[in-house]
Amino acid sequence: MTEQIKLEMIQEETFLTEEFFNQQWQIYQKVLKNNYMGHQEIYNVLHELLVKHWQKPFTMLDLGCGDGSFTTQALLNTQIAEYTGIDVSVPAIEDAKKNIAVTGCQGNFIIGDCWELTNELAQNEQQKFDVVFTSFALHHLQLEEKEDVIKNIKNLLKPGGIFILIDVVRQENEDRDTYVQRYLGNVKKDWTLITPQEYKMVDSHISSRDFPETQSNLKSISEKVGFSDFECVYRDELDTTQLLCFYL
Ligand SMILES: C[S@@+](CC[C@H](N)C(=O)[O-])C[C@H]1O[C@@H](n2cnc3c(N)ncnc32)[C@H](O)[C@@H]1O
């Protein structure tokens, strides 16, 4: 199968049709604008972390970068020298280019399957990064796929590098169905500007595509693939989202 066909398949799997994509994208913009997923707080923590850790210029790879709007806020007034964003969505990458430009760092943008590209980059060992970052994307993968991706990410880090993961995380002993019901309960209660039709799309997306791990599962993967340390830097009030650091 050619790379182009594979890319079209993942784009189709991710968003089904252009119209469906546009609707999903509009809902996600509404979510960001109203801070329904807590981006404001968590990206403030990301900013503090980057300032504390990198007093010299650093490079960052962002997997599933979306429009890069919150990442741009986190990167402003840091020592970011070069940013590489990968996303399967063409409009997201177009917006990310404009947003990241505000930081003044060198920006590289790739349209493609970020998990596949992570594998390729790790194999050819030509490019390494100080920070590999992914936010609200890894939970779509199954447990074994997450392990493979995190192993590749480890091989993409420069000495002293950090893998920073922002994602939804299940509570310990919470099964997936209970998590989905808990998350959707919060959406119903707190996402007050979402229309009934938009709620249906959110419900269908989360019910069919979200496979969050527990923190201890992620810690086990970190140990298994050889990270030396693992830290939960932030957990939100609803106990659905965490910022986790994997240290080389
Ligand atoms: C929920 S959004 C998160 C965007 C951004 N990281 C944020 O935190 O706001 C998930 C993003 O991951 C992208 N994505 C999902 N699966 C992908 C894949 N296999 N390869 C590249 N991008 C992917 C989607 O296009 C979307 O932009």
What is the residue range of 39's domain? 35-169+212-247
Same domain, 73 and 99: yes
Residue 63 exposure: Cα atoms within 13 Å on the Cβ side = 29
78-119 pLDDT, tens digit per residue, is: 999 999 999 998 989 999 999 999 999 999 999 999 999 999
Give yes or no for residue 65 CB within 6 A of ligand 1. yes
Instruction: Count up the domains in the chain and report the number.
Output: 2
Which residue's entry shows tokens 């996303």? 87
Residue 122 neighbours by CB distance under 10 Å: 19
Output the CA 89–ligand 1 centroid distance in Å: 8
**Sequence-separated (6 or more) residues with CB below 8 Å from residue 163:** 131, 132, 133, 150, 153, 154, 157, 227, 245, 246
In the chain, pLDDT over 70 holds for what percent of residues?
A: 92
170-184 pLDDT, tens digit per residue, is: 999 999 999 999 999
Q: For residue 118, is it within any domain?
A: yes
CATH at 141: 3.40.50.150
Give yes or no for residue 184 CB within 6 A of ligand 1. no
Which pLDDT band, with edges at 50, 70 and 90, does 24 fall under?
A: confident
Q: Whose CA is nearest to atom 4 of ligand 1?
A: 66
In which element (H, E) is residue 12 found?
helix 3-15
- pLDDT for 72 equals 98
AA letter at 142: Q
One-character DSSP codes across 153-175: HHHTEEEEEEEEEEEE-BPTT--
Q: For residue 125, is it within any domain?
A: yes
**Residue from 41, 71, 84, 88 whose mutation best tests the ligand 1 pocket (most atoms within 8 A of CB):** 88
Q: For residue 175, is it within any domain?
A: no
**Nearest-angstrom CA–CA distance, 51 and 46:** 9
